[in-house]
Structure 1
Amino acid sequence: MAECDSRGLPISTESPQAAGQYRIGIDLLLSAWPGADDTLRQAAELDPHFALAHAALARLHAIKAEPAEARARIATAQEIVARNGSPREISHVAVLALAVTGQSAKALESALAHLDAWPRDVLILSLPLGAFGLFAFSGMIGHDQARVDLCERVAGRYDADDWWFLTYRGWSHAENGSVSRGRDLAQRGLERRRANANAAHAVAHAMFEQGAKDEAEKLLDGWLPEYDRAGMLHGHLAWHAALSALERDDPQHALAIYSKYVRPSASLGLPINVLSDTVSLLWRLQAYGHEVPSGMWEEVESYAGSRYPTPGLAFVELHTALLAAATGKHAAAVDRIKANAQRVADGVLPAGPVVPAIGRAALAFANTDYAECMRILEPVAADVARVGGSGAQREIIEDMLLLAFMRSGDSAKARDLLDRRLHRRPSQRDARWRGQIEV
């Protein structure tokens, strides 16, 4: 009897033990749960000619920003699958090869074509989805809708209780504005597999979009202790809890969470999350008028310099711009802005001109030139979604524009933006700011 993956697709291995480890490892990977690397490695060791096990390890190395290991694993998978792979497996490995070697546009095109033929190939379906997926980092303005469209197109091919599909279908709907539906789907995913960090994350995001900060804190307080700190989303989920503390105007509790779980020396998360979570939380603290303790910015600078010394993803560039501006490294910020502007001109930065514009606006904000910040940021505000990430992550740019309105004395624009935000979701902080404008 042929071996199959966890969604019933045939896999080329003659080892039942390798197949079993592969199924477990893929589900650990898809739930952002510790142990995926060891389990998938065992699958590859049990059957060294198991191409999909090597390909899954390549994907995991790429997620963890380990490019050399990812390239080595995918090369092994390509060599094996060329000899004895099925058409699906050959295509599966080819899509992953494009993704892990940084050919994102081709990877997205190939993934969508692959899914037309094999919609239940769950690892390939995971590639376009999520805050850091191929859609999010494609530079398109409508990536939230694109994720929903893809999920709905394949929904009929997944079981009604498939915990992973419920999770990502829910997250996609919540990010695209159908928050109640998205929360319901994601909660069902969490109920069906509680050891699922992606589901806890999706539910927390939906709660954020609903303005249900107290519920989000209760969820995370009850669930996070079950999640090993080695889990790739542990620090990021703690970041959500710290944001909730800031929402309550409790910077000391936010800093306590940051120090214990989020800062570079404490987090075991993905580098892109460590950078974005640390920069955005410290920036918010500083911008909202709270003191950032000595040494915290310097620690983040050191981490960013070691992990992201040269321009890369638009989402990373957003945060390196905020970091340089907030810490007074304005010459370095100008150099990075120029480099990103050249990348836009060369056509190699899909998000386009919004990236250097955010850098210039951050510098103006740091220099308390709020009128200049407004002048730069207002025309591109609608394009910020092009950098990828989630709505909660991108809100920092809207916060910068809002604070520029308030501090420049443009009460009408500040009031209009706050009213739109409060209509979108309740917010204690926005309500406080709205009250300040009326004084």
Structure 2
Amino acid sequence: MIQHDARGEALSTDQPASVAAYEQAMVLFNTLQLDPVAVLEPALARDPDFIAGHLMMAGLFLSCIDGQVLPAARASLDSAAASRHRPLPREQSLLAALRPWAEGDMGRSNRLLDRHLVDHPRDLFALQLTHMADLVLGRSAMLRDRIARALCHWQPGDAGYGYLLGMHAFGLEECNEYARAEALGRRAVALDPHDAWAVHAVAHVCEMQGRVAEGIHWLTEETAHWQQNNALAVHNHWHLALMHLSNHDEAAALALYDRAIAPGPASMAMDLVDASGLLWRLGLRGVDVASRWEALAARWDEQAAWGWSVFNDTHAMLAFAGAGDAARMARGREAMGAVPATAPLPWWNEAGELCEAVMAFGAGAYARCAALLLPLLPVTHGFGGSQAQRSLIFLTAMEAARRAGDTALHEALESEASARKPALAGQLAEHRSQVLEAA
């Protein structure tokens, strides 16, 4: 009754075809290609007692980081629990670890996955899924250290080894170890050019070091597979747009929004996050994006699952503020205020203040916005997401200070930004002079 996956992990099924589908879906998930769900569905229809398959299906839903798919994840976990097969230790552990996430408590699930991956360090699916949760929960050190814990149990040539390198590369970047991150990311891409996460890790290094020309070349000339049929396509286009913004090429960034980032009918919350983040950055630079905010705000209105993800909720509020939609902002703020103080969410009190700051900026109350954001800047890791994504909070504070006429705060933040990214110091000075000339 027991089969084994390509890494030697035992699976409670007697059907080799189920294992083949599991492996195919695994590779699609590792490379973020579409669509592992479509691969697993027929396998589970033929083998409804395939516990590992149901657990993978639940994890695929959870990896969307979208509150709307939690019922589907719960249904998959229920199917795993109802199997006539007795779960193997790894399957039993993973089922217990994923259940809180499907019930809305990603933080508790993440802590259970900590132990699961100590006991099962070759569980590649759980490693990648937990890596995504670490990102959303703002556990920057664990993006690096979780993969480091597992590496001694892997060897070059193991199925999926390159994907560990790509994840480790991203974790190193988020911990400011840029040289190691880039080396591992490039090695991972050399092992599998379809490894969109490793491509993304190297793009992050270029972004954080201000190596704009190299970053654009990396995403447009040196790599290409991420651009089509890939769940990370919107996000990597977002990175490319940020690089154009670093070149003060707002027109190129806006063209990318219209071509590759603006939401479509099938966009998930993580795509809407990127759309909000890019439009807001363009707005901070004085670009007229008013005609694009309403469509995005309408999608967030349909998509928002308030009280589940600070990261998502704040980006929804950006869209409502950008659209000037007071009614939606009020409903969102009311929904956030209704979240119990005991809710299993990180950074929830600060999230309320962040949303107040967003609303203040949208209303033109720039001094209030800057005052609300200043004490949040040292703790933005709790917001979740990457350093590049969280920089939106800093940029908003800096622009609010400038618009409020708070020269001391604006210069202090500009100095901080220049010290963090020395390569950008000249660009910031040039941008400042352009703003002064326009004024």
TM-score w.r.t. structure 1 length?
Answer: 0.90
Mapped contact 2:105–2:344 kept (Cα < 8 A): no
Alignment correspondent of 1:41: 41
Once the two structures are superposed, residues 137-166 of structure 1 have per-residue CA deviations (whole angstroms, 9 ceiling, x without a partner) of 44x6xx111332322222211224611110
Mapped contact 1:207–1:216 kept (Cα < 8 A): yes
Alignment correspondent of 1:432: 430
Mapped contact 2:290–2:323 kept (Cα < 8 A): no
Alignment correspondent of 2:261: 262
Once the two structures are superposed, residues 169-226 of structure 1 have per-residue CA deviations (whole angstroms, 9 ceiling, x without a partner) of 1101101111221121122111111112212112211221121221221122136643
Distance 1:356 1:429 in 2: 33
Q: 1:348–1:92: structure 2 CA closer, same or farther, 3 Å change rule?
A: closer
Deviation for aligned residue 1:337: 2.9
* Residue 410 of structure 1 pairs with residue 410 of structure 2: no
Once the two structures are superposed, residues 381-422 of structure 1 have per-residue CA deviations (whole angstroms, 9 ceiling, x without a partner) of 222221211111111110010112222333333222222222
Distance 2:179 2:237 in 1: 23
* More moved, 51-60 vs 61-70: 61-70
Distance 2:294 2:436 in 1: 38
Alignment correspondent of 1:78: 81
Alignment correspondent of 2:89: 87
Matches within 5 A, 1:124-203: 124-130=126-132, 133=133, 135-138=134-137, 143-160=139-156, 162-203=161-202
- Equivalent pairs counted in the alignment come to 429
* More moved, 346-355 vs 7-16: 346-355
Q: 1:99–1:377: structure 2 CA closer, same or farther, 3 Å change rule?
A: same
Deviation for aligned residue 1:434: 4.8
Alignment correspondent of 1:117: 119
Alignment correspondent of 1:282: 279
Q: 1:10–1:348: structure 2 CA closer, same or farther, 3 Å change rule?
A: closer
Matches within 5 A, 1:252-331: 252-265=251-264, 269=267, 271-292=268-289, 294=291, 296-308=292-304, 310-331=306-327
Residue 430 of structure 1 aligns with an amino acid whose one-letter code is L
Matches within 5 A, 1:333-412: 333-343=329-339, 345-412=341-408
Query: What is the SS of the residue equivalent to 1:128?
Result: helix
Alignment correspondent of 2:52: 52
Distance 1:184 1:285 in 2: 32
Alignment correspondent of 2:20: 20
Q: 1:19–1:331: structure 2 CA closer, same or farther, 3 Å change rule?
A: closer
Query: What is the SS of the residue equivalent to 2:3?
Result: coil
Alignment correspondent of 1:238: 237
* Residue 205 of structure 1 pairs with residue 208 of structure 2: no
Residue 304 of structure 2 aligns with an amino acid whose one-letter code is Y
Q: 1:354–1:36: structure 2 CA closer, same or farther, 3 Å change rule?
A: same
State the 4+ residue runs in structure 1 displaced beyond 4 angstroms.
434-439
Distance 2:339 2:123 in 1: 34
Mapped contact 1:279–1:322 kept (Cα < 8 A): yes
Residue 398 of structure 1 aligns with an amino acid whose one-letter code is F
Q: 1:88–1:307: structure 2 CA closer, same or farther, 3 Å change rule?
A: same
* Residue 99 of structure 1 pairs with residue 97 of structure 2: no
Residue 94 of structure 1 aligns with an amino acid whose one-letter code is A
Deviation for aligned residue 1:228: 6.0
Distance 1:122 1:187 in 2: 20
Mapped contact 1:362–1:373 kept (Cα < 8 A): yes
Mapped contact 1:377–1:401 kept (Cα < 8 A): yes
Distance 1:348 1:11 in 2: 32
Distance 2:44 2:327 in 1: 48
Once the two structures are superposed, residues 238-280 of structure 1 have per-residue CA deviations (whole angstroms, 9 ceiling, x without a partner) of 1111222222222222121111111113x855x1222111111
Q: 1:12–1:216: structure 2 CA closer, same or farther, 3 Å change rule?
A: same
Q: 1:349–1:417: structure 2 CA closer, same or farther, 3 Å change rule?
A: same
Mapped contact 1:25–1:39 kept (Cα < 8 A): yes
Residue 98 of structure 1 aligns with an amino acid whose one-letter code is P
Identical aligned residues as a percent:
26
Once the two structures are superposed, residues 95-153 of structure 1 have per-residue CA deviations (whole angstroms, 9 ceiling, x without a partner) of 233333323233112211212211111222223313xx1x3444x6xx11133232222
Mapped contact 1:167–1:189 kept (Cα < 8 A): yes
Matches within 5 A, 1:58-69: 58-64=58-64, 65=66, 66-69=69-72
Mapped contact 2:297–2:319 kept (Cα < 8 A): yes
Mapped contact 1:167–1:199 kept (Cα < 8 A): yes
Query: What is the SS of the residue equivalent to 2:12?
Result: coil
Alignment correspondent of 1:11: 11
Distance 1:312 1:2 in 2: 37
Distance 1:101 1:224 in 2: 38
Distance 1:111 1:136 in 2: 14
TM-score w.r.t. structure 2 length?
Answer: 0.90
Distance 1:176 1:341 in 2: 33
- Please, what is the CA RMSD of the aligned residues? 2.5
Residue 162 of structure 2 aligns with an amino acid whose one-letter code is W
